[in-house]
Structure 1
């Protein structure tokens, strides 16, 4: 073929099938070259990799020590996390990525950052001190099939915060905040003091307020009047720290599986938990939109960075008095920001933190900065003005398809939707889990306490030998256990799935409540020794 013929062969356009594919392509072709040319990664976050686009939605849990972060995660998963410890002192001293795995285990930080399938490779610059305090806990859990959770070290207060961590804690928080889908900021109803380190940590979350959800935990430990005062004090403190007129959404509750201390606000806690869980459940459906939003935010910051760097390059003298000019330009940076803002019609909200950039510029040689390159800037403008818009129909299609998906499943997300604990449906049915049924001749462990449970059962006035969902719920709620726990107990006890409890099922529910009150966990499925004898025969004949 002639050279003329080759010139006119058109390259087939790239076929984009998903929003994630489209974002990866746009980043590699149009944004990454600009980042590399203007040294964006030396001032802001490292470059993105495929794993940053492909990973599951992540939830970052942040709070002062002993506010219940690890307990909150255990409550969501209804399972202990390998390597975790709970106590009143600062017990979590590591960043722990809690992810799905077929086998339980811990992966140390240095091994994590070389795994191309995990989105943590760019944490390497934080050094060995941090990597020795970073790990991944893998476990087979249904919740983790849809999301991953990042547990953080408890933020210190008082004398404790004077001890250096040995790495830049706010910078690590900022790195995670830019990449996660949701940030849960936990407060303790008894510990509203915002320490200096906590204030710095909250500062590191700035720019990601859209991802932030504030949780006032352990609210069952105060009465209604005290709770109102605590809530007001928290809102005032948050207003001061964030420095914005907008009021953050605060979820009030007690996020653990123990009985409530003060039950006055039980209904409020149930509704707040339902709202928070619904928000977390929707994360997989909104993951593509979050990635698109974050890429647009990054592209706007890259555009501003390019204008700042090229302006500084332009103002530098070619030969003499370079050091004096550099110092003067750094001092004048707020004025330079204003000039760029007016000249290029850029919103002030797109600019980085001025004081932080002044500090970073001290270590750079301005003569090595690059001048403005029009073709790169045109590519960036094209990305923001038209390329992202072309992905919107695909995004809407994915949202429609995701709308029929159930979202995050398993763990505490099942409990509140079981039996009479379904809001407005006292006889709500639960899908059969196809659990294995025990052998007919195996002894039932509840037998020895059944006379005691029968007395309670008949005092509740069953109708035709069965208690309705409403009557059973009223009695179960009196134990003060959270609804998510009682929902799981109902799910395990209503063996025949008829929305009611007979004497054996009620005895089983009572036994499981006592097991839980004694501090033990609940089985994911009903083991053979707990299946009521009559239900074993019934299941056997069905089979």
Structure 2
């Protein structure tokens, strides 16, 4: 502790920034004022006697405003620190013109952990999925709800999203064999005459199914969406998502009545595995397919490529087709890692050995075994994938909250709000960079600027909620403590 000659010490820029964060934490209404109720809750965590805190308030609120602004709050924080060091807090302290040069530390802050967040009690949790469900509802959902994460990024999760079976989605252009592939895996046709088919509008409102978020795509999509249920050992553990063929040419612009790319992106976030199917005679990637593949960004670890109907070309042609496919995918996926490509003929027809030859049979059988092993791994790795997706979502929600809080903070208090909003929308890339620099965040974790801009146009930025550090802290605690503790409780590395 260092005593200076002024009534209250001045703060460095770094220290003042930290005080500002604490001030925002204590300000429950977000109106830039610490009221009496705020002070009782916040300063009460210092464990000082009520009479001492009463004196702190009286000295800090010297102008009798009935609330503390930022500077008065800093004065109060310094007085609390003096009291904890054994000084008597009274008028004599000010008369002597003594003060403390306080260099606060996040790690030694007397109000950590925050009142907004409590640790997950693993004794009340039955599984990793149950733990994630409780963590989401307690710590992540409040953050998402406050900053419109559901509109900008992804719908809020429900219990059925956590309880759902793993999903495998198939994407590809027309006649690449997506439906035939599923029939081949099931060894039967679907939907059969005795199976149950549920219309999309009904599926989207069923509480026990993870498809409620699809209502955002409207009736135009839901009228073309349906769920087929049938008894099958594989379907006890996996849900297949069959998609319509991706369009090419003029049809791309004229024949879609719903946002196909948006729907594909929604399913990609939910799925555990994404299979991109290609036909050796149709290697061209249409503009719509490029957009769909681009929408899978962030899910690269889930993507596998299937070169189907490979028995329709001979060995020499197959080498050329494989090379051409890898070259085309390299330009679209835009990743240095080589994507796994399965080669085969995934249907129930006899192999065309006249073209493929005996080497083709051996290759196709090994490739099919590898793909089946990958599919069998989906249920086994479902828990790991759920944790991975949950952590990715939490990081995205934090970044989204920082962006919204920054935009809100850039709005003027009184006049010129319309012009300020337009300026922020027009210069959104620069605003993203500011958030990235200020918060030391990776650029690759930020959302798509154009999509964010389009959604932002429908909002009044001035009505956004201010950034509440306690909600960010709750998410940080969840990532830094609760999830690792959950894994330690329910996973024995020696099993």
Structure 1 window deviating more from structure 2 (261-270 vs 121-130): it is 261-270
1:220-247 Cα deviation digits (max 9, x unpaired): 1011111111111111111111122222
Whether 1:245 aligns to 2:336 is yes
Alpha carbons of structure 1 residues 294 and 340: separation in structure 2 relative to 1, 3 Å: same
Aligned mate of 1:20, from 103, 106, 129: 129
Q: What pairs up with 1:404-415 in 2 under 5 angstroms? A: none
DSSP-derived class of the 2:381 partner: helix
Aligned length: 373
Aligned to 2:375: 280
Whether 1:138 aligns to 2:229 is yes
Whether 1:314 aligns to 2:409 is yes
1:105–1:137 CA contact under 8 A, matched in 2: yes
Aligned mate of 1:263, from 350, 356, 369: 356
Aligned to 2:166: 57
In structure 1, distance between residues paired with 2:165 and 2:139: 24
1:458-517 Cα deviation digits (max 9, x unpaired): xxxxxxxxxxxxxxxxxxxxxxxxxxxxxxxxxxxxxxxxxxxxxxxxxxxxxxxxxxxx
- Structure 2 gaps of 5+ residues are 1-117
Q: What pairs up with 1:529-540 in 2 under 5 angstroms? A: none
In structure 2, distance between residues paired with 1:369 and 1:164: 38
Whether 1:361 aligns to 2:456 is yes
DSSP-derived class of the 1:158 partner: coil
Aligned mate of 1:290, from 385, 408, 417: 385
Q: What pairs up with 1:371-390 in 2 under 5 angstroms? A: 371-390=466-485
Alpha carbons of structure 1 residues 30 and 11: separation in structure 2 relative to 1, 3 Å: closer
Kindly state the Cα deviation for residue 319 of structure 1 after the two structures are TM-superposed: 2.5
Aligned mate of 1:347, from 431, 435, 442: 442
1:500-541 Cα deviation digits (max 9, x unpaired): xxxxxxxxxxxxxxxxxxxxxxxxxxxxxxxxxxxxxxxxxx
In structure 2, distance between residues paired with 1:230 and 1:70: 23
1:289–1:395 CA contact under 8 A, matched in 2: no
DSSP-derived class of the 1:192 partner: coil
Q: What pairs up with 1:165-204 in 2 under 5 angstroms? A: 165-204=256-295
2:119–2:482 CA contact under 8 A, matched in 1: no
Aligned mate of 1:326, from 408, 414, 421: 421
Kindly state the Cα deviation for residue 336 of structure 1 after the two structures are TM-superposed: 1.8
In structure 2, distance between residues paired with 1:287 and 1:193: 33
With structure 1 as the length reference, what TM-score do the two structures score? 0.66
In structure 1, distance between residues paired with 2:273 and 2:421: 40
Query: Cα RMSD (Å) of the superposition?
Result: 1.9
1:153-196 Cα deviation digits (max 9, x unpaired): 11111232232321111111111110111111101111011111
- Structure 1 gaps of 5+ residues are 1-9, 85-102, 402-543
DSSP-derived class of the 1:149 partner: strand
Kindly state the Cα deviation for residue 325 of structure 1 after the two structures are TM-superposed: 1.4
Q: What pairs up with 1:157-236 in 2 under 5 angstroms? A: 157-236=248-327
Whether 1:79 aligns to 2:188 is yes
2:311–2:351 CA contact under 8 A, matched in 1: yes
Aligned mate of 1:110, from 181, 196, 201: 201
Aligned to 1:40: 149
Kindly state the Cα deviation for residue 11 of structure 1 after the two structures are TM-superposed: 12
2:120–2:482 CA contact under 8 A, matched in 1: no
